[in-house]
Structure 1
Amino acid sequence: MEQHPQYVPGFLDKPEFDRDFAAREQIEQRLQLLDSIVEQLSDTKVLLDHDNYHNSISFYRNVRFLSGENVPGTNVIYEDMKQFFVASPDAPLPPQSTETNNK
């Protein structure tokens, strides 16, 4: 429209179009920034999920061991937790810590 103003229809409000176009560019820049922030937060969440999962397994394995050793109070905890750590037949269990392997 800038290069060929003679073809802009009279009913088209060119200044309004220009304002809308400028606003759209500003929104696009903000969306790109937000996309970057969302990606960074998502990546951070994945790392935290990984840490939490492995720490939970370590805790569960320790409670399972203590329950097997008949440490008072651990059997109830083990029974409550074991439903969340059912091994899938397809998925191998994560490696156990060396402390548990030596027992």
Structure 2
Amino acid sequence: MTDFSAAIHLLAKDDHAPALPLLPANHYEDAAMSNDNRVSAVLTAQDVTDILGSVAAIGAKLPFLINLSPQERRELPKMGDKSIGFDDKCRAYMGSHPEFIPGFVDVAEVNKDRELRLQMMRFYAALIALTDKVDDTLQVVSSEAWMADLAYYQSVREAAKRGRAGAQSIYEDLQQRFPGAPTAAQRAAAVAAQSASA
């Protein structure tokens, strides 16, 4: 990995980090992005409209869906894979020995819950797989754009250091994203102080 790539990685991982260190100009001419362009695709406005319509149609088929609070998620008893067999046995025993069913248990509603769970499990995995792919792809395209931004910022910073026309104003504008970074005046003062103490 080049010094440029290493610096880009450092800043990309911590968006509160100070500005990238200055590097020789030739680093910018040949340095590659740290990752290949993994996603190159376009969605038309109609594509987005169609996707939103499909999502809305799925939601319309599931009007009973609810949202749980983080506390509710923690407190609700969970039926994991290991408990499915237990539930199957309880369902059978409730049918063959209903005399042991507590009075507060509504068997009809419990059976509706069981049936709904089975139906939802038929498409749950497919929806999770799709949302995982959407999330992963969104992270990749966002990362690729961010890496390009950092490369441009570093290039502008080098150009400003070399006094190229128009670079300083761009650099000062972009530098606001990294408030911990020293300004050109602060760097000049630091250099002067080092020279004076030498």
Q: What range describes the TM-score normalised by the shorter chain of this pair?
A: 0.5 to 0.7
Output the CA distance in 2 between the equivalents of 1:2 and 1:59.
66
Unaligned runs of 5+ in 1: 88-103
Larger RCO (CA within 8 A; separation ≥ 6):
2
Q: Which deviations, in whole Å up to 9, do the C-alpha atoms of 1:28-58 show, x marking residues without a partner?
A: 3333332222221221122123212210111
For 1:12-51, what aligned pairs fall within 5 Å after superposition?
14=107, 16-51=109-144
1:5 corresponds in structure 2 to 95
> Is 1:63–2:152 an aligned residue pair?
no
For 1:72-91, what aligned pairs fall within 5 Å after superposition?
72-85=165-178
Partner of 2:92, secondary structure, is coil
Q: Count the aligned residue pairs.
A: 87
Letter in structure 1 aligned against 2:149: S
Unaligned runs of 5+ in 2: 1-90, 182-198
Partner of 2:163, secondary structure, is coil
Task: Give the alignment's Cα RMSD to 1 decimal.
Answer: 2.9
Letter in structure 2 aligned against 1:80: D
Output the CA distance in 2 between the equivalents of 1:4 and 1:34.
33
* Cα pair distance change 1:82/1:16, threshold 3 Å: closer
Output the CA distance in 1 between the equivalents of 2:139 and 2:96.
55
Normalised by the size of structure 2, how large is the TM-score? 0.35
Output the CA distance in 2 between the equivalents of 1:65 and 1:36.
43
Normalised by the size of structure 1, how large is the TM-score? 0.59
Letter in structure 1 aligned against 2:120: I
1:25 shift after superposition: 1.6
Letter in structure 1 aligned against 2:116: A
Output the CA distance in 1 between the equivalents of 2:93 and 2:138.
49
Moved more, 9-18 or 61-70: 9-18
